[in-house]
């Protein structure tokens, strides 16, 4: 981490955000609460798709759709863990007492962004390992979609995860609540992925990336305002 | 024909009267008797004028439809010229000249297989193009001296009447969600449980209206576009609206604690609303789709278009009336639902 002298100069809220992020990261590395199960889930899904497509040649449109299905459901299994685990271990109350809600929200958001990037990268690597006929013609665009898509997914689902951690039927409720909010993102994500597979130049495909970025900004802004009501008892 | 500003005026009057009368005296107070009678009258008049009057096209509509395969018979509204009536004994038919109602300088000869009405001035006659563009063959007389007629829209035909139900229903579906969101914000600000009851009432009636808008749209799509569902951008947006309403109630049923349920549901209602303006008002206008007013379409859709064929005054007034009546009926249902909801809540508190 950062040297203590440098650390002291950073505003308190940023330090708190970093602390929450750091805590979640260390706890994840130690327990592997989310990552192991979800990586296995990704592997299972990709294997399932490889078997079910058999010898069929996937078209670019179909491939980008299937890729987003894998990515969506892996996010849906993994991203609720940050809040659900607090609730299950009973550590939520301690966190409420020691840290302001904004710091908790942003700490968890950054952790979720990192988790989503890892999950999406794993999904993409496995997908291209098993399915050879698809090639990425505009790699820069593809990486940008992956990155912005991760940020957008995490910013849409972090507050939903906080909501469902308080409800009873958690695992079923998470995709149900997330889907209407994620759908605009998935639509632009699928289209931009398709563009990167067919080889459209980066400059021509910016509109979808702009939608992904601006929608994330709006979602994070609204989440910041609403998070207090979800988090505080 | 009316000017574009006139059209805007008529439509905004409908919106405004609907909202103002609908909100009177306030959403949760009982409605006075005169209010109930007024809304009932508005609604029945609206249904009558949307369903009963005949469609009245022109001779050029009949010519246009003759080039399209399928139903070539068009109801044409025209002025009768009884002095030109000629009886053809050999063929057993009557021929008469008629003057087009909307374009008075166009005259055409119509062949009637029965005796045409002669005591009327104007008639709506179902006919199709015969040998030339000024020669038509009548099949039946729909109405004589009609008070007014609805515009004939090629391809839509009688199905055009659905516009007076489907479009206002969709508008109320979004309005109901907007109101549910406003009540949710109020709940979070004031922490008063009555606002939660109001939000859930608006959402439950909104679900009904969304469902009706989807069904009327799907039936219309089946007969105009060939399938019940095409994933047109507007269909996608109403689908997401249905999903949001569904998710809202799924969340409510998953939380037992009353305060927690109200708070979480309110947060979700506000958070999910972020995408709605974009999905309902922006995306369908940018992307290509089947609805009028989409990105690939030349006109801007029936509501904001300035094209002459979208500026029929009768159509505008009925459209405005139907917006107004559906909004008022929505607020009536909402007030009933809120009041029963509040009573239920108070009874549960007393037990």
In chain A, what residues touch B264 (CB-CB under 8 Å)?
163, 166-167, 230
Taking CA–CA distances from A220, the nearest residue in chain B reads: B271
CB contact under 8 A, B247 and A177: yes
| pLDDT reported for residue A34 | 77
In chain B, what residues touch A169 (CB-CB under 8 Å)?
254
Taking CA–CA distances from B276, the nearest residue in chain A reads: A181
Q: Looking up tokens 């998710």, which residue turns up?
A: B247
Q: Which of A161, A175, A144 is nearest to A72 (CA)?
A: A175
Give the least confident one: A36-50, A78-92, A196-210, B63-77: B63-77
Strand duo B150-151 + B86-88: pairing: unpaired
**Is the Cβ–Cβ distance between B268 and A177 less than 8 Å?**
yes
Tell me the two tokens of residue B116.
């045409």
Strands annotated E in B38-189: 55-56, 74-80, 86-88, 93-100, 107-112, 122-129, 135-144, 150-151
DSSP conformation letters of A125-189:
HHHHHH--S---S-HHHHHHHHHHHHHHHHHHHHHHHHHHHTSSSHHHHHHHHHHHHHHHHHHHH
User: Shortest CB distance from B279 goes to which of A179, A184, A222?
Assistant: A184
The A-side interface with B (CB below 8 A) comprises 159-160, 163-164, 166-169, 173, 176-177, 179-181, 183-184, 215, 218-219, 222-223, 226, 229-230
Tell me the two tokens of residue A189.
């994500």
| pLDDT reported for residue B299 | 59
Q: Taking the mean position of all CA atoms in its chain, how far away is CA B126? A: 25
Task: State in Å, rounded, how far the first CA of chain B is from the last one.
Answer: 63
Taking CA–CA distances from B275, the nearest residue in chain A reads: A181
Which helix or strand (DSSP H or E) is residue B119 part of? none
CA–CA separation, A201 vs B160, rounded Å? 44
Taking CA–CA distances from A171, the nearest residue in chain B reads: B254
Q: Which of B300, B199, B186, B310 is nearest to B251 (CA)?
A: B199
In chain A, what residues touch B272 (CB-CB under 8 Å)?
180-181
Give, to the nearest 10 degrees, the angle between helix B313-350 and helix B193-224. 140
| pLDDT reported for residue B308 | 58
| H-only helix segments in chain A | 4-9, 12-31, 35-53, 60-78, 81-89, 92-98, 101-130, 139-165, 170-198, 206-231
Taking CA–CA distances from A233, the nearest residue in chain B reads: B260
Q: What is the pTM of this model?
A: 0.89
Q: Which of A164, A169, A181, A170 is nearest to A72 (CA)?
A: A181
| pLDDT reported for residue B225 | 87
CA–CA separation, B171 vs B231, rounded Å? 19
In angstroms, the Cα distances linking B240 to A184, A217, B259, B327, B333 are 10, 21, 27, 22, 24
DSSP state of B154: T
CB proximity B264 to A under 8 Å: yes
Tell me the two tokens of residue B51.
């369903």
Using one digit for the tens of pLDDT, what is the confidence trace for A33-78? 778 888 899 899 988 888 888 777 888 899 999 999 999 999 998 8
CB contact under 8 A, A229 and B243: no
In chain B, what residues touch A164 (CB-CB under 8 Å)?
251, 254
User: Shortest CB distance from B274 goes to which of A160, A183, A219?
Assistant: A219
Percent of chain A residues topping a pLDDT of 70: 97
**Is the Cβ–Cβ distance between B214 and B238 less than 8 Å?**
yes
CA–CA separation, B291 vs B280, rounded Å? 12
| Higher-confidence position of A232 and B162 | B162
CA–CA separation, B68 vs B72, rounded Å? 7
CB contact under 8 A, A230 and B267: yes
CB proximity B251 to A under 8 Å: yes
User: Shortest CB distance from A163 goes to which of B236, B244, B267?
Assistant: B267
CB contact under 8 A, B243 and A180: yes
Task: State in Å, rounded, how far the first CA of chain A is from the last one.
Answer: 32
CB contact under 8 A, B274 and A218: yes
| pLDDT reported for residue B306 | 60
In chain B, what residues touch A219 (CB-CB under 8 Å)?
271, 274
Size of the A and B interface in Cβ pairs below 8 Å: 70
| pLDDT reported for residue B190 | 94
Q: How many CB atoms lie within 10 A of CB B307?
A: 11
Q: Looking up tokens 């505008």, which residue turns up?
A: B316
**Is the Cβ–Cβ distance between B285 and B293 less than 8 Å?**
yes
Mean pLDDT in residue range B18-44: 92
| Residue of B271, B278, B289 to mutate for A, most A C-beta atoms under 10 A | B271
DSSP conformation letters of B244-255:
HHHHHHHHHHH-
CB contact under 8 A, B263 and A179: no
Q: Looking up tokens 């940008």, which residue turns up?
A: A144
In chain A, what residues touch B266 (CB-CB under 8 Å)?
229
Mean pLDDT in residue range A105-125: 94
pLDDT band at B66 (very low <50, low <70, confident <90, very high): confident
In chain A, what residues touch B278 (CB-CB under 8 Å)?
184
pLDDT at B79 over 70: yes
Tell me the shortest Cα–Cα distance from A156 to chain B, in angstroms.
Answer: 9
Using one digit for the tens of pLDDT, what is the confidence trace for A169-193? 777 899 999 999 998 899 889 999 9
CA–CA separation, B206 vs B335, rounded Å? 13
| Higher-confidence position of A211 and A2 | A211
pLDDT at A1 over 60: no
State the complex-level ipTM. 0.91
| Residue of A105, A160, A163 to mutate for B, most B C-beta atoms under 10 A | A163
């Amino acid at each position: 981490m950062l040297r203590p002298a440098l650390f002291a100069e950073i505003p308190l809220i940023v330090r708190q955000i970093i602390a929450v992020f750091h805590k979640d990261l260390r706890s994840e590395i130690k327990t592997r609460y989310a990552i192991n199960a979800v990586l296995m889930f990704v592997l299972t899904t990709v294997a399932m798709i490889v078997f079910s497509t058999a010898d069929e040649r996937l078209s670019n449109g179909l491939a980008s759709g299937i890729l987003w299905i894998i990515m969506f459901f892996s996010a849906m299994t993994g991203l609720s863990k940050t809040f659900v685990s607090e609730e299950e271990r009973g550590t939520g109350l301690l966190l409420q007492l020691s840290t302001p809600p904004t710091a908790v929200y942003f700490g968890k958001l950054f952790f979720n962004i990192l988790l989503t990037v890892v999950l999406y990268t794993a999904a993409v690597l496995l997908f291209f390992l098993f399915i050879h006929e698809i090639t990425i013609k505009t790699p820069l665009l593809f990486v940008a979609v992956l990155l912005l898509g991760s940020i957008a997914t995490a910013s849409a689902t972090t507050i939903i995860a906080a909501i469902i951690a308080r409800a009873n039927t958690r695992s079923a409720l998470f995709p149900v609540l997330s889907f209407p909010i994620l759908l605009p993102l998935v639509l632009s994500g699928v289209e931009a992925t398709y563009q990167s597979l067919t080889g459209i130049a980066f400059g021509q495909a910016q509109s979808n990336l702009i939608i992904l970025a601006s929608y994330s900004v709006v979602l994070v802004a609204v989440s910041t305002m609403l998070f207090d009501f979800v988090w505080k008892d | 024909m009316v000017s574009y500003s006139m059209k805007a005026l008529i439509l905004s009057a409908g919106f405004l009267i609907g909202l103002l009368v609908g909100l009177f005296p306030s959403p949760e107070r009982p409605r006075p008797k005169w209010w109930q009678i007024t809304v009932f009258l508005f609604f029945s008049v609206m249904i009558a004028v949307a369903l009963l009057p005949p469609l009245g096209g022109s001779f050029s509509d009949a010519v246009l439809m003759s080039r399209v395969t399928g139903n070539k018979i068009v109801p044409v509204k025209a002025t009768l010229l009884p002095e030109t009536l000629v009886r053809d004994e050999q063929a057993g038919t009557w021929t008469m000249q008629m003057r087009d109602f909307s374009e008075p300088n166009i005259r055409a000869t119509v062949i009637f297989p029965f005796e045409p009405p002669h005591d009327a001035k104007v008639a709506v006659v179902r006919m199709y193009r015969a040998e030339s563009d000024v020669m038509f063959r009548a099949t039946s007389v729909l109405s004589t001296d009609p008070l007014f007629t609805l515009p004939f829209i090629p391809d839509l035909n009688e199905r055009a009447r659905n516009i007076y139900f489907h479009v206002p229903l969709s508008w109320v579906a979004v309005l109901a969600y907007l109101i549910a969101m406003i009540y949710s914000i109020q709940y979070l600000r004031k922490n008063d449980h009555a606002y939660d009851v109001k939000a859930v009432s608006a959402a439950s009636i909104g679900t009904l209206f969304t469902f009706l808008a989807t069904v009327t749209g799907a039936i219309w799509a089946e007969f105009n576009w060939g399938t019940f569902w095409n994933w047109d951008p507007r269909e996608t947006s109403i689908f997401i609206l249905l999903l949001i309403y569904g998710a809202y109630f799924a969340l409510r049923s998953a939380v037992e604690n009353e305060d927690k349920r109200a708070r979480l549901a309110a947060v979700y209602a506000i958070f999910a609303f972020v995408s709605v303006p974009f999905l309902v008002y922006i995306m369908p206008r940018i992307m290509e789709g089947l609805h009028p007013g989409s990105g690939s379409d030349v006109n801007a859709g029936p509501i904001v278009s300035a094209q002459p064929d979208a500026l029929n005054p009768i159509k505008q007034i009925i459209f405005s009336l139907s917006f107004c009546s559906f909004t008022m009926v929505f607020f009536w249902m909402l007030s009933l639902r809120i009041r029963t909801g509040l009573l239920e809540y108070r009874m549960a508190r007393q037990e």
